[in-house]
Amino acid sequence: MLSLSFITPVYNMEQYLSRCLDSLLAQNIDSSQYEIIAINDGSKDKSLHILKQYALKYSNIIVINQKNIGLSATRNVGLEIAKGKYIWHIDSDDWIIENCLRELLEICESSNLDMLQVAPSIPVTTNFACDIKNEALSEIYSGKKLLLNEKKVAIGTWAYIVNREFLEANNLKFLSGLLNDDEEFTPRALYYANRVKLMKFSVYLYFQRDGSIVHSFSKQNLYQYLKISSSLKCFAKKNVRENNIRRRFKYISNGIFISGINSIINHNYGDEILRNYLQSAREKKLYPLEIDFFPIKRLILLLMINFFPVLYSRVKRK
């Protein structure tokens, strides 16, 4: 078995792709021990040509070419063919620091981890080996404990190295048709994870660009918030038995639903779009929002969205 599989979806990334691939290749374990699964998801630029050139030169690069099926479905394609003991999803406009893979895999192995968070929201380390020796790692947590402590949890799929047997045992796949699929996937994965460690610095370099999924938005994408919110709510109802964890999933689900409202406001889509969004949410039984024991500020927010959504919208715009 290979030690690790990088899974890298690619869509129109010719400008950034070489930087990403070069960082995955510049590692301190032999190339025979890991694979780079690069999946061209119907790119219209020169991304496929770049991938083919790299595959000719490096035997551990596997290129899959397919018609466009979207980010989340493409990640699932990678999971189906991955042979590594561990999985690391890498966005093709991002990159990782050089010569970090051996130590990361040693951490996963020595602690028998389900998940290792490698990208908290603090600066990237400049001296990886030294930081590791200085024990810049957390204790072992359960994922459930982390779910209850949102300040410790990273949401991005790329922020974790994950044991493939753990994924398969819990049937953890991505919900198709999503762009921000990590918001739906990561809470479910953490719920099942028994052994998780957190690094106190990042080895992942996240590139923010104007055309990225995070920074682009359209009315067509708006209803993904409802799809994610509904999925997490259904997951909690079917699978979560602990009352405190169930409340946490409700909190996350509500937060994602509210993010959709705030996106409507921030993009000045107007009251009609807001009403349509709320009507769709009502049909999915996501709205009105369930009121729980929240801090008073949160309670006021939920009550205002439930009873005065247009007023909430206008107040937020000011």
140-173 as b/e: b if 16+ CB within 10 A: ebbbbebbeeeeebbbbbbbbbbbbebbeeeebb
Query: Are residue 196 and residue 237 in the same domain, yes or no?
Result: no
Confidence of residue 217 (pLDDT cuts 50, 70, 90): low
User: Could you tell me if residue 248 is inside a domain?
Assistant: yes
In the listed set 205, 231, 266, which residue is the last one of a domain according to the structure?
A: 205
Tell me: do 48 and 84 sit in the same domain.
yes
CB 234 within 8 A of CB 156: no
Q: What is the mean pLDDT of residues 63-78?
A: 97
Residues 309 and 176 in one domain: no
Strand runs labelled E in 102-246: 115-117, 160-163, 196-198, 204-205
* Structural domains of the chain, count: 2
Identify the pLDDT of residue 207.
73
- For the domain that residue 16 is a member of, what is the CATH number? 3.90.550.10
Q: Is residue 210 part of a domain?
A: no
Question: In this predicted structure, what is the pLDDT of residue 296?
Answer: 82
pLDDT value of position 52: 98
Instruction: For residue 211, tell me if it sits in a domain.
Output: no
Shared domain for 186 and 282, answered yes or no, is no
142-198 pLDDT, tens digit per residue, is 999 999 987 778 999 999 999 999 999 999 999 999 988 999 999 999 999 999 999
Domain-terminating residue out of 205, 236, 251: 205
Same domain for 101 and 241?
Answer: no
Asked, for residue 214, whether it belongs to a domain, the answer is no
Please check whether residues 142 and 227 belong to one and the same domain: no
Query: Residues 228-261: pLDDT tens digits?
Result: 999 999 999 999 999 999 999 999 999 999 999 9
What predicted TM-score, i.e. pTM, was given to this entire model? 0.92
Which burial class, exposed, middle or buried, applies to 57 when counting CB atoms under 10 A from its CB (0-12, 13-18, 19+)?
exposed
- The range of the structural domain enclosing residue 75 comes to 2-205
Same domain, 47 and 76: yes
The pairing of beta strand 34-41 with beta strand 2-10: parallel
Q: Do residues 33 and 140 share a domain?
A: yes
Judge if 50 and 139 occupy the same domain.
yes
Q: Based on the domain organization, do 123 and 36 belong to the same domain?
A: yes
Is 8 found in the same domain as 101? yes
At CA 197, angle to CA 195 and CA 201, rounded to 5? Answer: 165
Q: Which of 27, 146, 159, 155 is nearest to 90 (CA)?
A: 159
Do 107 and 167 share a domain, yes or no? yes
- Which of 149, 173, 205 delimits the end of a domain? 205
The residue with greater pLDDT, 219 or 51, is 51
